[in-house]
Chains A and B, each alone.
Chain A
Amino acid sequence: MSTEYLQEVADADYKYGFVTEIESDKAAIGLDESTVRYISAKKKEPEWLLEWRLKALDHFLGLLEKNEKPEWAHLAIRDIDFQSISYYSAPKKKPQLDSLDEVDPQLIDTFNKLGIPLMEQKRLAGVAVDVVMDSVSVTTTFKKELREKGIIFCSFGEAVQEHPELVRKYLGSVVPRTDNFYAALNSAVFSDGSFCYIPKGVRCPMELSTYFRINEAGTGQFERTLIIADEGSYVSYLEGCTAPMRDENQLHAAVVEIIAHEEAEVKYSTIQNWYPGSADGRGGVYNFVTKRGICEGRGSKISWTQLETGSAITWKYPSVILKGDDSVGEFYSVAFTKGHQQADTGTKMIHIGKNTTSTIISKGISGGQSQNAYRGLVKINRGAKGARNFSQCDSMLLGDRCGAHTFPYLEINNPTAQVEHEATTSKVGEDQIFYCQQRGISETDAIKLIVNGFCKEILAKLPMEFAVEARNLLAIELEGSVG
């Protein structure tokens, strides 16, 4: 029966669980001032950045001492020992690369296995990729072509060296180092990440993409992404991530900051596929991410699209601060949990400017013994005249041992605001399955079809290359949990 099929879907294997033997430099285990100094020295950072990190560390250790971890999420988190993690790991062979041909063949092989054929993409001239392995950005493709347009797309470390004025101006301007527990941790120990600057009036000719991979055991990954879209520019940015299968939990605490100036548009898409842990709930990545964008200028737009299928624990709320008048914020999300996964994810839309608009569409699918929660805030400030929000959160349950939850927060302080929220929870309809079966579609295919239809709205928002990957990923995920 359908339930059996669904049960099986919930037990699929993780495809990306291999480990690559690449020699690496690791920081000593533990976290104190010397760790931060070590990372900063490794990266040859200027004094101001070291100081910034140290202030963040101070704040983080203060929170840790008072045990002020965020506990409001619908998550059961095993105690994390922040002193037993190595906060920096870099593939050892790291020459300054000019072209992909110089990249460690092992690495290329790794990314080929992941389905990110760097070489091929170079040829197809489709997507510019920045690859971050463990803590360090390994390669960025298409740098030259982008440079001609004046676009800066490089690793965060490089940006600190080459464009310190931009980094200094924008770093922490959207997610301050004291923002929350995990953002403070990231600010202290972030190792690398991507940096992107689109100059005035430039429409980025290709998708920019970053692929993150945790490889080394016993390490955490703390990357930081900073995207600045200057007046009238446009960029579409993709992010993907995987990790090997390991018994222990790995920590991932990233920060993404986006600044959109007047009339600029940033589209940020994520396929999050960190290792979710084994079928009985051992191991998996703890994913604590702070993502936030600010629509700084009039008429700017930030759009988040995410497909969350991985991680043992997901704690992630990509947000938009709608500061400029007429600015637009969007959040489209599919979160799929199975096995013992737990997800508490959603968004925050903070309306400050006049006539600002936000749209939230969230689809949660839970199977196995997983818990999947949407948590979102829509806040209309007193001066946000004519603000408009529409939110829709639908959940689908694929079994009777999982949970699907919705926790929206609506805070309205202006009478001209129009805020609407709707949410539904249901299971895969037996009548729908019956209808498909009647037409000769097998039960398995019927369920895939229905789940795909449920998510279609969101998947359609992903850029082409990603949409295909996303659909495949969802099919693979279902393979194991329905069946």
Chain B
Amino acid sequence: MNSLKSLETTFIEAFDKDLGLLPSDTADVWTASRRQAIRSFADAGFPKRKSEAYKYTPVTKWMSEPPALQSSKPVSALHLPFSALEGVHLKTVNGQLSSPPDHLPTGLTISTLRAALETHPELVRGHLDRLSSGSAGDAFSTLAAAFAPDGLFIHVAKGTVLDAPIYIHHASVSPDALVQPRMLVTAAENSEAFVVEHLPETGAGAVFENRIVDVNVARRARLRHLVVYERGSQARFVNSLHAHQLDESVFSTNNITLGGALVRNNLHVVPDGEHCETHLNGLYIAQGGSHVDNHTLVDHVKPNCFSNELFKGIVEGGSTGVFNGKVMVRQDAQKINAYQSSKSIVLDDTSHVYAKPELEIYADDVRCSHGATTGELDDDALFYLRSRGIPPRQARVILLEAFARDVVELIPLDEVRTYLNTRIGELLAD
């Protein structure tokens, strides 16, 4: 408890020192927002020991070794499996846009957030206000909002339909340091886009990335989102995604976690319009003592919406998997269909799975359900494969791959699917 308190103080003091480098002009919206964010952080503090939201992932676990705030070291060449695929490719270093692409399809804007403050002030202002006020998101979000020097801005203009995905390759060059990136993706009316984010292994050791992704999906827009996390076995990652949807929009996010020592996905979607469709999917493979926590909230505030969630996990080698998903249906948000499913496989008795699938319903004309299962591999299925001459090890891998494939199959990109299936096969065969 005390150590958390002192950690909070460290951050606040570091911010004050850091702020000395920023222009003190209060008319600067960006700086003012960052100042506001650190105040919100100071007010709320890190989630306490008894916090329900962090019940199975105590913050002290994240912060047992406080990360350095700055550090930089060159890293080895990155392996970027998606770089040859058709689409727009962006690279970020520590969350900052490193090389803006020279050619962009019409209707697509990519810039830094500070630059976008000039070009799309109303969009960026909303994003800044939401985060700095601390009313949405927890201490990790406000902390990132305070420290991120700049961010990434992606805007798909009204009516623009992008044929190919936008790939973002995130590099991290600060071993053992705390990196706090932020990103805003906005899809305007009737637009359509697919954002694929890849966080490969970069050899950056125990890097701690605490990031914010804000998504706005306007009326009748369709936005797909995929995150593939493959950082090294010491890396830590807090991924706070907040999506806001308007009437008749479709939003889907798929979070594939294949690496890291500690991963927390905070996925928070508000379908704030009628006839919205929302999909939240995820797959994680937790090995070698790692800890993966998927925390989701679908907050139905308007009637006539549909949402579906599927999370699957394989846990082994003293690892822990957590799924805490909540479906909330507010008063008068009638005719909601909301489904949620969480399935996990535990492979040995040193590993743990904690599931907390919740429903909080305040409207009567709804259909909501959730299901959660945890178990080991089906003996009958193993026997079936073995009776056909498949050795036990291989039979096990076949079954696990099949289990994982349910989530991978939802990705509408052949090359990405193939890559992931191969990677999953490698991880499980080890």
Contact = CB atoms under 8 A, between A and B. Distances in A.
Bound pair (A, B): yes
Interface of A: 72, 74, 382, 395, 397-427
B349 A406 contact: no
Contact of A423 (B334, B355, B370, B375): B370
Interface string B345-383: 011110111111111111111111111111110000000
A72 B331 CA distance: 22
Contacts of A427: 364-366
B284 to A, nearest CB: 15
A400 B332 contact: yes
B52 interface: yes
Contact of A408 (B358, B364, B365, B369): B358
Nearest to A405: B360
A400 B349 CA distance: 45
A424 B368 contact: yes
A403 B329 CA distance: 9
B351 A415 contact: yes
Contacts of A421: 355, 357, 370-373
A400 B336 CA distance: 13
A410 B307 CA distance: 23
B374 A412 contact: yes
Given A406-B370, A415-B348, A398 B364 contact: yes
Nearest to A426: B367
A425 B356 contact: no
Given A413-B352, A414-B349, A416-B376, A423 B364 contact: no
Chain B interface bracket (under 10, 10 to 19, 20 to 34, 35 or more)? 35 or more
Contact of A422 (B364, B370, B375, B376): B370
B349 A413 contact: yes
A382 B346 CA distance: 12
Please report whether the interface of chain A is mostly helix, strand, loop or mixed according to DSSP: strand
Please report whether the interface of chain B is mostly helix, strand, loop or mixed according to DSSP: strand
Nearest to A398: B364
B356 A409 contact: yes
A414 B361 contact: no
Nearest to B366: A425
Interface of B: 52, 331-332, 334, 344, 346-349, 351-376
Nearest to B375: A418
Contacts of B348: 415
A401 B331 contact: yes
A403 B358 CA distance: 13
Contacts of A415: 346-349, 351, 376
The 4 residue pairs across chains A and B that have the minimum distance between CB atoms: A397-B364, A410-B355, A418-B375, A424-B369
Contacts of B376: 415-418
B52 A72 contact: yes
A407 B356 contact: yes
A229 B251 CA distance: 56
Contact of B356 (A402, A410, A417, A418): A410
A107 B423 CA distance: 75
A296 to B, nearest CB: 24
A417 B348 CA distance: 11
Contacts of B374: 410, 412, 417-419
Given A72-B52, A405-B360, A407-B358, A420 B349 contact: no
Contact of B354 (A382, A411, A414): A411
A422 B374 CA distance: 12
A406 B352 contact: no
A393 B71 CA distance: 51
Contact of A425 (B347, B353, B369): B369
Contact of A410 (B334, B353, B369): B353
A397 B331 CA distance: 12
Nearest to B350: A382
Contacts of B361: 395, 397, 403-405, 425
Contact of B375 (A403, A407, A411, A419): A419
B349 A410 contact: no
Contacts of A414: 346, 349
A405 B329 CA distance: 10
A420 B372 contact: yes
Contacts of A382: 349
Contacts of B370: 406, 421-423
A395 B363 CA distance: 12
A382 B351 CA distance: 9
B357 A417 contact: no
